[in-house]
A and B are shown apart, each in its own frame.
Chain A
Amino acid sequence: MSITEVQFQAQGAEAAQAAGAPVEGRSQWQLTWRRLRGDKVSMIALVVVVIMIVLAIIAPVFASVTGHPVNAAYPIQGENDAGNPVGPFVNGFWLGTDSTGRDLLVRILFGARISLFVGVVSTFIAAFLGVTIGLIAGYFGGIIDTVLARFTDAVLAFPYVVLSLALAEAFGPSLTIIMVLITFFSWAGIARIVRGQTLSIKEKEYIEAARSLGAGPFRIMFLDILPNLLAPVLVVATLYIPQAIVFESTLSFLGLGVQPPTPSWGNMLADAENFYQVAWWYLVFPAIFLLITTLAFNLLGDGIRDAMDPRTERLVAARRMRRMRDKKRAALLDGQPALQNEQEA
């Protein structure tokens, strides 16, 4: 915090006290929320995420309103004379049907349940593991730290699809395998960040104070250090959710994940590939839902990161840009020597 900011706050506090209003400190979370609320893109992303979650929860409502259960095939209304899927708004199928004449909208919404569940739950487990292991490695150091560093390097470099192929072959493809794999490939990244933060926080004075008061290592780790780590972990976790969703859909696309007839965006898109000549909607609608969901999580994650840290690239870049533009303008006013130089060089 710069001196001017401190002075400014002091003045503000005095003014507030003069007005008789009590001064309330704002927590980091309140400040973040205020900044986030001012960011239009993030708020739209947040609304989209909430809508997706609500749609996934009320998916059975759509099934009963349209009268099309999720796995029910309609070979007569849902397929045309050639046996191909029918398009949007034909015979009461809002987004058309899939290859066996099932309601595409209902299946997309049930697919959203799988995607969001896998994305959120595996990221949550990964964050829990990552925070615990990262804290221990950062706080105690030594052999745990070395093992963690080597392991993280190995995980980050190893092709996950290849490993998934091998595991799906050995244990048979299932939702559980997918979630284990996602967790396995995500926790190390979180642990690495937590470890770095722990290393710097544990040298702070208040930790020394806690230790001198007789606090044990676990009390310090979980009560004194952990609360300061939640912000970066939240940012990383938000950005891991879309990755997990993409991962699940990719494995299901390859046939290694969620198995039909359970709908998942990945296995729907895999089936849709065989019908690209006759049913564009079968490919386009699941793809749009998938893209909107991952894009919303990505935008929200970027937004939270910017809101947590006011010195973000976005703001810094804008400032630098302004400086560069001024410089260019100044160069133009000076005549054209800069241009001539360039031609000579």
Chain B
Amino acid sequence: MAIAGYIVRRILTGIVVVWLVATVAFFLFFARPVTTVARQLAGHAATPQVINEVITNLGLNQPIMTQYWHFLRNLVHGNLGYSYFRQEPVNTMLKQDLPATASLVIGAVILWLIVGLAVGIISATRARSFFDRFSNVAVLIGLSMPVFVIGELLIQFVFQPLNTNGFTWIAIGYSGITSGVGSFIGHMLLPWITLAAVQAAVYTRLSRGQLLDTLGEDYIRTARAKGLSERRVVFRHGVRAALTPVVSQLGVDIGQLLGGVVVVEQVFGLGGIGQVSVQAVFQDDLPVIIGFVIIAAIFVVVANIVVDLVYATLDPRVRIT
């Protein structure tokens, strides 16, 4: 029962957070005079009458509080408004582009957790070995490199040589999983690696440091003294305790992940919601941006609740109240 109450409370505070973000986003509508937006849509040669008509159509001439009320009411109904530019509901646009973004995120998260934790654990158990030194250097380079540079270098030095030599399985652009699993993986492989690379570096460093600390604890010595196998000591006693800070780091990183998604979609032309939002900036399409901001806020809130629940499961000392 305690858990149910906890989840309800977290969802309620989550709704408050999303409402705050939505409110701030809404007032961005009024950072610039409404005629600028209207002129963008009506074209440069538009007469004042046409511009006024556009403003009326968009409801931009109503009092701010009325518009805010409409905005909130639509939001509660799950309606994010209409794109100025494409003249279709923002919901439809985001729904259309979600599969690409979801494929990217899920694949990359799996890849980065596996690589980051595996390398971190191996480095920690063989501290100061050649593998450890090598991975430390790789981690530092990963931390110093912007996501888009990794992506561009992969295109330049992996995709380009392979494709000019007739090996076309690795491709850029997006190909849905419905059009063949093989081609789907071929299209997603480089984006996954790109998005996973920087985060994997963070997790390698974190899990290595945590595990090194844990392996120095007295109870690890006790476990060894009991005659447990090294594998059992490392995985049952060491990794489990070392993993909890890694999981809480995951909560922080989920927000950063969305930033990476925008960049990777742009580099590889995946056409997910991130890329659509970047285009929206250049088209002065504010409703799309705000839709993306709200979706991002919801995603961050939900992911953080999940992470905290996982955290409590992993660490019996954490009690959910």
Q: Is the CB of A294 within 8 A of B28?
A: no
Interface residues of B in 243-301 (CB under 8 A from A): 251-252, 254-260, 262-263, 266-267, 277-278, 280-282, 284, 286, 289-290, 292-293, 296-297, 300
A276 engages B28 (CB within 8 Å): no
The CA of A255 and the CA of B256, in the complex, are separated in Å by: 19
| B141 within 8 Å of A (CB atoms) | yes
A161 touches B25 (CB 8 A): no
Query: Which residue of B144, B145, B258 contacts A162 across the interface (Cβ within 8 Å)?
Result: B258
Residue of A nearest to B164 (CB): A277
User: B281, A160: Cβ atoms under 8 Å?
Assistant: no
Is A81 in contact with chain B by the CB < 8 A criterion?
no
A14 in the interface (beta carbon within 8 A) = no
Name the distance in Å between A281's Cβ and chain B's nearest Cβ.
10
Contact B259 A160 (CB under 8 A): yes
- Say which one of B66-74, B102-110, B223-231 lies at the interface with A: B223-231
Q: Which of A159, A166, A266 contacts B289 (CB 8 A)?
A: A166
B230 adjacent to A338 (CB under 8 Å): yes
B257: chain A residues at CB < 8 Å are 159
Q: Which residues of A contact B147 (CB under 8 A)?
A: 250
* Category for how many chain B residues contact A: 35 or more
Interface residue tally for chain A (C-beta within 8 Å):
54
- On whether the beta carbons of A276 and B149 are closer than 8 Å, the reply is no
**CB distance B289 to A158 under 8 Å?**
no
Q: Does B146 contact A (CB under 8 A)?
A: yes
- B252 and A342 contact, CB distance less than 8 A: no
CB contacts (< 8 Å) of B297 on chain A: these are 158
In Å, the complex CA distance between A295 and B137 comes to 10
* A170-B32 contact in complex given A295-B144, A299-B140, C-beta closer than 8 Å: yes
Contact assessment for A290 and B262 in the assembled complex, using a CB-CB cutoff below 8 Å: no
Pick from A56-64, A68-76, A315-323 the stretch touching chain B. Answer: A315-323
Q: Which chain B residues border A53 with CB–CB below 8 Å? A: none
Q: How far is the CA of A295 from the CA of B139 in the complex (A)?
A: 11
Interface majority SS (helix, strand, loop, mixed), chain A: helix
Q: Is A156 close to B, CB under 8 A? A: yes
Q: Which of A159, A167, A171, A246 contacts B296 (CB 8 A)?
A: A159
- Assess the A345–B229 pair: CB atoms within 8 A: yes
A contacts, CB < 8 Å to B: 154, 156-163, 165-171, 173, 242, 246, 249-250, 253-256, 266, 269-270, 272-273, 276-277, 280, 283-284, 287, 290-291, 294-295, 298-299, 302, 313, 316-318, 320-321, 324, 338, 341-342, 345
Interface residues of B (CB under 8 A from A): 17, 21, 25, 28, 31-32, 127-128, 140-141, 143-149, 152-153, 155-156, 160, 209, 212, 215-216, 227-232, 251-252, 254-260, 262-263, 266-267, 277-278, 280-282, 284, 286, 289-290, 292-293, 296-297, 300, 304
Other than the given A266-B146, A273-B267, 17 more pairs (CB < 8 A) read: A156-B255, A157-B254, A161-B263, A162-B258, A162-B277, A163-B293, A165-B262, A166-B289, A242-B144, A246-B145, A250-B146, A250-B259, A269-B148, A272-B152, A276-B156, A283-B153, A320-B215
Nearest 3 CB-CB pairings of A with B: A161-B259, A170-B31, A294-B144
